[in-house]
Amino acid sequence: MHLTQPSFLLSSLLAGALSAAVPAPDAHSSPNPLFKRTNPTIDSNALSKRANPTIGEGIDTGNPQQGGRLQGTNPTNGAFAEAYELMSYATTTETDPVNSAVFAKYFNPGDKNTVMAIFARLLGGDDATGGAAAMANIKVTGGDVEEGDPAPAELEGYEDPDPTLILSEDAWVYPDRDTNANACSDFAESGMTQDMYLLASILVHEYVHWDWFLGSIHQGDIIDQTNGYGWEGARALNKDLAVYNADSYGWYATELFWAIICEQPNGYNAPGVERRESEASA
């Protein structure tokens, strides 16, 4: 979640209004002079290592149903590692047909360089699959988010070098990558479903809110656009706003991950669509 404070509202509205008239630049174009964000300055002593966010108050790493799920039991599992995995599936398959098919459901094709650059910076570089050193600046804590907000998490201090990522109790309801051993067969039967969204997907959503770290790429503000939550909202959202909508990133990375490991070359249709198509061809 990215709270829209009164002081933030004007800038977010400006970013949304101008996104259609002045498209956000991709990672290889000249910066948009109307926004002009600069690259973050990161402590050079920390650049040599990859990192996970830091665990803070309210997270019990000894509880396997809560904080223990963030770090996992080995370097390849746990929500921190799985969030990097979701993003790295996107960056390492950038030109694959399945990537293009899923990407087009959530973003304008012309924004792909921007999205890939955002994921690459969070991962630590163009060819990286772990976390950037700066990710250790994020402190993950347990707590409450704003009442009535549909998101189970919130990133506070998104314009700062050391933000706080709050996970509510509702976040722990979301599964891990390996929770459902029958995920591929279940999703083939159900079609697109909220059940695909992982605890790691929530982290991806919150990470992309970090404008201090990512703003020089997208030259705007990544917020929670109105009606942009969930896979249906993210797909239906005006594509000119998608690059500034956190759940578009979360759902793109999540659907692509499942599409690749479950061998669904076009991703997933809405529930029932595949069934109707098969019945029509029978």
Nearest C-alpha neighbor of 250 from the set 36, 33, 87: 87
- In whole angstroms, give the CA distance from residue 198 to residue 83: 9
- Give the whole-angstrom CA distance, residue 248 versus residue 268: 15
Q: Write out the two tokens for 173.
A: 């309801």
Quote the CA–CA distance of 45 and 243 in Å, as a whole number. 32
Give the integer Cα–Cα distance in Å for 92 and 20.
29
Which value, to the nearest 10 degrees, does the dihedral of the CA atoms of residues 93, 103, 16, 226 take? -120
Q: What are phi and psi of 206, to 5 degrees?
A: -70, -40
Per the CB < 8 A criterion, the answer to whether 104 and 220 are in contact is no
Residue 9 is predicted with a pLDDT of 34
Contacts (Cβ under 8 Å, ≥6 apart) of 144: 166, 168
Among the listed residues 36, 32, 39, the one whose alpha carbon sits nearest the alpha carbon of residue 213 = 39
- CATH code that applies to domain 47-281: 3.40.390.10
pTM of the model: 0.83
The CA distances from residue 95 to 102, 124, 146, in Å, are 12, 20, 39
Please report the sign of the dihedral spanned by the C-alpha atoms of residue 100, residue 101, residue 103, residue 108.
positive
The contacts of residue 192 (CB under 8 Å, 6+ apart) are 231, 255, 267, 268, 269, 270, 271
Terminus-to-terminus CA distance in the chain, angstroms? 44
What are the distances in angstroms from CA 234 to CA 3, 10, 39, 160, 227? 18, 22, 28, 27, 8
Q: Does residue 65 sit in helix, strand or coil?
A: coil
Distance CA 37, CA 135 (A): 19
> What does the pLDDT profile of the chain (282 residues) look like in tens digits?
654 433 333 333 333 333 333 333 333 333 444 446 667 655 544 444 568 999 999 999 999 999 999 998 888 899 999 999 999 999 999 999 999 999 999 999 999 999 999 999 999 998 888 899 999 999 999 999 987 777 899 999 999 999 999 999 999 999 999 999 999 999 999 999 999 999 999 999 999 999 999 999 999 999 999 999 999 999 999 999 999 999 999 999 999 999 999 999 999 999 966 444 443 443
Residue pair 151/145 in contact (Cβ under 8 Å)? The answer is: yes
